[in-house]
Chains A and B, each alone.
Chain A
Amino acid sequence: MSALSLVVRDSNTMLRRNLLHARRYPSLTLNLLLTPVMMLMLFVYIFGDVMSAGIGGGGADRSEYIAYIVPGILLMTIGSTVIGAAVSVSTDMSEGIIARFRTMAIHRGSVLIGHVIGSVLQVLVSLVLVGAVAAAIGFRSTDATVLEWLAAFGLLALFALALTWIAVGMGLASPNAEAASNTAMPLILLPLISSAFIPADTMPGWFQPIAEYQPFTPAIETLRGLLLGTEIGHNGWLAIAWCVGLSVLGYFWSKSLFERDPK
Chain B
Amino acid sequence: MPPSVMPTSKKGEGVPPPAAISAVGLRKSFGDKTVLDGIDLRIPTGSVFALLGPNGAGKTTVVKILSTLITADAGELRVGGHDVAAEPQAVRAAIGVTGQFSAVDGLITGEENMLLMADLQHLPRQEGRRVAAELLERFDLTDAAKKPASSYSGGMKRRLDLAMTLVGDPRIIFLDEPTTGLDPRSRHNMWQIIRELLADGVTVFLTTQYLEEADELADRIAVLHDGKIAAEGSSEELKRIVPGGHVRLRFTDPAAYRTAVATLHEADRDDDALALRVPSDGTQRELRSLLDRLDSAGIETDELSVHTPDLDDVFFALTGGTDKHKETAR
Known: A20-B107, A96-B103, A261-B69; 19 extra A-B contacts, CB below 8 A, are A9-B119, A13-B120, A17-B108, A17-B116, A20-B112, A21-B108, A24-B108, A24-B148, A95-B106, A96-B99, A97-B104, A99-B103, A102-B69, A104-B120, A105-B89, A105-B93, A106-B120, A261-B71, A262-B70
| Docked complex Cα distance between A262 and B90 (Å) | 20
Also in contact, A103 and B69, with CB within 8 A (given A13-B116, A13-B119, A17-B116):
yes
> A262–B120 Cα gap in the complex (Å)?
21
Question: How far does the alpha carbon of A101 sit from the alpha carbon of B197 in the complex, in Å?
Answer: 22
Q: Which residues of B contact A25 (CB under 8 A)?
A: 107
Question: Across the interface, do B92 and A95 meet the contact criterion of CB distance under 8 Å?
Answer: no
Measured in the bound complex, the distance between the Cα atoms of B67 and A261 in whole Å is 12
Shortest C-beta distance, A84 to chain B (Å), equals 14
- In Å, the complex CA distance between A24 and B108 comes to 8
B111-144 Cβ-contact flags toward A at 8 Å (1 or 0)? 0100010011110000000000000000000000
Kindly list the 7 A-B residue pairs having the minimum CB-CB distance in the complex, ordered from nearest. A96-B103, A100-B103, A105-B93, A105-B92, A261-B70, A13-B119, A103-B97
A236: shortest Cβ distance to chain B, in Å?
A: 41
Indicate with 1 or 0, residue by residue over A221-249, a CB within 8 angstroms of chain B CB atoms. Answer: 00000000000000000000000000000
Chain A residues within 8 Å of B319, by CB:
none
Cα distance A24–B149 when bound, in Å? 13
Write the residues of chain B forming the contact surface with A, with a CB cutoff of 8 angstroms.
67-71, 89-90, 92-93, 95, 97, 99, 101-108, 112, 116, 119-122, 148, 164, 168
Instruction: Tell me, in angstroms, the Cα distance from A95 to B67 when the chains sit together.
Output: 17
CB-based nearest A residue for B118:
A13
Known contacts A10-B120, A13-B116, A103 near B92 by CB under 8 Å: yes
17 contacts between A and B (CB under 8 A): A10-B120, A13-B120, A17-B105, A17-B108, A20-B108, A21-B107, A21-B108, A96-B99, A97-B104, A99-B99, A100-B103, A100-B164, A102-B68, A103-B69, A103-B97, A105-B93, A106-B120
A147 at the interface (CB under 8 A from B): no
B70 touching A24, Cβ below 8 Å: no
Smallest CB gap from B98: residue in A: A100
* A1 within 8 Å of B (CB atoms): yes
Distance between Cα atoms of A176 and B173 in the complex (Å): 30
Alpha-carbon distance between A97 and B120 when the two chains are bound, in angstroms: 13
A100 contact set on B, CB distance < 8 A = 97, 99, 103, 164
Q: Are B68 and A103 in contact (CB under 8 A)?
A: yes
Instruction: Flag if B107 contacts A9 (CB, 8 Å).
Output: no
Q: Could you tell me if B122 and A1 are in contact, using CB atoms closer than 8 angstroms? A: yes
CA distance A95 to B101 in the complex (A): 9
**Complex Cα–Cα for A17 and B168 (A):** 19
Bound together, the chains give a CA A21 to CA B150 distance in angstroms of: 13
Q: CB distance B104 to A96 under 8 Å?
A: yes
Residues on A with beta carbons closer than 8 Å to the beta carbon of B68: 102-103
Q: How far is the CA of A53 from the CA of B71 in the complex (A)?
A: 63
- Using Cβ atoms and an 8 Å threshold, which residues of chain A touch B106? 95
Neighbouring A residues of B92 by C-beta, 8 Å? 103-105
Interface core residue of B89, B101, B103, B148 (most chain A CB under 10 Å): B103
B99 proximity list for chain A (CB < 8 A): 96, 99-100
B97's closest neighbor in chain A, by CB?
Answer: A103
List chain A residues, Cβ under 8 A from B120. Answer: 10, 13, 101, 104, 106
Residues of B within 8 A of A104 (CB): 92, 120-121, 168
By a CB distance below 8 angstroms, the chain B residues around A106 are 120
Residues of B within 8 A of A95 (CB): 103, 105-106
Min distance, Cβ B94 to any Cβ of chain A, angstroms: 9
Contacts of A101 in B (CB 8 A): 120
Min distance, Cβ A230 to any Cβ of chain B, angstroms = 44
Interface centre among B106, B112, B120, B122 (most CB of A within 10 A): B120
